[in-house]
Amino acid sequence: MTVATMAGAGAGMPVVRMAHAKLNLTLAVTGRDRHGYHRLHSVFVPLALADRLSLAPVTGAQDTLHVTGFDAGPVAENLVLRALAATRSAVGGRWPGGPGPTPPLAVRLEKRVPVAAGLGGGSSDAAATVTGALEAWGAELDATNRLAVAARLGSDVPFFLVGRPALVEGRGEQVVPLGGLHGSPGVLLVTPAVPVRTPDVFAAFDARRASGDGAVRLTSTHLAEELRAKLSVADLVARAGALTTANDLLPATAAVVPALVPFKRALTRLVRRPIGLSGSGPTLWALYASEPEAVEAAALVRAALDAGELAAPGAAPPFVEATSIHNPRQQEAQS
Ligand code: C5P
């Protein structure tokens, strides 16, 4: 999800975008396509937790990227720069300063979302880069072309162009918004300091079995139907038990990071809530009726870690954060 908060390059101001993280409330693997990608049936929701990007035209020879906060590493860095190059190529000379190519941009990226965590931070940065660059250049790309650019950048990127609760299918390129969630549930995130590569998890999935568990697909279908119609925060939280087991990648991620299994169990005991895995992990999550309740839970987890009562995998302490499901529909209704 991306939100413009300033005027574009025309006003000589940088374009600022928030690149929200995502959570998979469900994730069913339903097969593979002819390119070897896994076909998904997954309910994605954006989180309030977000990276911040600012994009400004520069006179230099090439695009530049400056990253602060979480060390983005080469993958996320390349994704932002790749997103700029892909958007420039799709725009060609069709921008107000054309017919030459669009000018280089200087991007400042403040990383607040952990990387390689199952939260889609890099993909969200890429989507924010596509829309932010278009605004900075005063250029337009129709929805079909935007989607094509996004899908080429990565499987999760099309979701972030939509930026609201959605059913995601195919390898990630089919995104249907689900407008029925009323309210913004609180979310506790705990990300052990063990970066997990998505391809490794899918490879472990393939090594275990050819397709997902039908029960996960059923839960995912049911949740999508409910979120398409009308679902209150209380009803969503009441379904947490079913949702936290509705991820076909759970056994594969556990095979890649075995220490995640006892940690998830210990966390469940500590917060007395069902704990889920987002995407290919390693981020663990719990749902709450409100963000303040998630804040209390985060304090409990931090205190247990500090006291040595909870041991997390990884060389560093985990990222522990209270956030909420970002619900633009609700914010539009209130404004
Ligand atoms: O599309 P993206 O580059 O984000 O995907 C990273 C890797 O994750 C792919 O190379 C593939 O191994 C795996 N993947 C998959 N099926 C998907 C999404 C990702 O197999 N739907």
> What's the one-letter identity of residue 10?
G
CA distance readout (Å), 57 to 51, 65, 140, 189, 238: 20, 12, 16, 35, 48
Q: Is 22 a residue of the active site?
A: yes
What pLDDT is recorded for position 208?
A: 87
In the block, residue with structure tokens 């210990």: 266
What is residue 42's three-state secondary structure?
strand
Atom of ligand 1 nearest to the CA of 36: 20
Contacts of 12 (CB under 8 A, 6+ apart): none
The one catalytic residue in 63, 156, 248, 264 is 156
What pLDDT is recorded for position 59?
A: 87
Radius of gyration, alpha carbons of the chain: 20
What's the gap in Å between 198 CA and the centre of ligand 1?
Answer: 7
In the block, residue with structure tokens 């063990």: 194
What pLDDT is recorded for position 330?
A: 64
Pick the residue whose CA is nearest to atom 8 on ligand 1: 199
- Cα separation, 310 vs 306, in Å, equals 8
> What's the one-letter identity of residue 145?
N
Atom of ligand 1 nearest to the CA of 39: 21
Q: Is 213 a residue of the active site?
A: no
Query: If you ran DSSP here, which 8-state letter would residue 9 be given?
Result: G
What pLDDT is recorded for position 12?
A: 64
What pLDDT is recorded for position 195?
A: 87
The one catalytic residue in 22, 63, 111, 125 is 22
Query: If you ran DSSP here, which 8-state letter would residue 187 be given?
Result: E
Atom of ligand 1 nearest to the CA of 123: 4
What pLDDT is recorded for position 246?
A: 97
If the chain, 335 residues long, is cut into consecutive pieces of 10 residues, what is the mean pLDDT of each piece? 39 88 97 95 98 94 91 71 98 96 96 95 97 97 97 97 97 96 96 95 89 89 97 97 97 97 98 98 98 98 98 96 89 61
Ligand 1-lining residues (CB < 6 angstroms): 37-38, 40, 154-156, 171-172, 198-199, 202
pTM: 0.94
What pLDDT is recorded for position 328?
A: 82
Pick the residue whose CA is nearest to atom 20 on ligand 1: 37
What pLDDT is recorded for position 74?
A: 63
Q: Ligand 1 pocket check: which of 29, 40, 152, 155 to mutate, most ligand atoms within 8 Å of Cβ?
A: 155
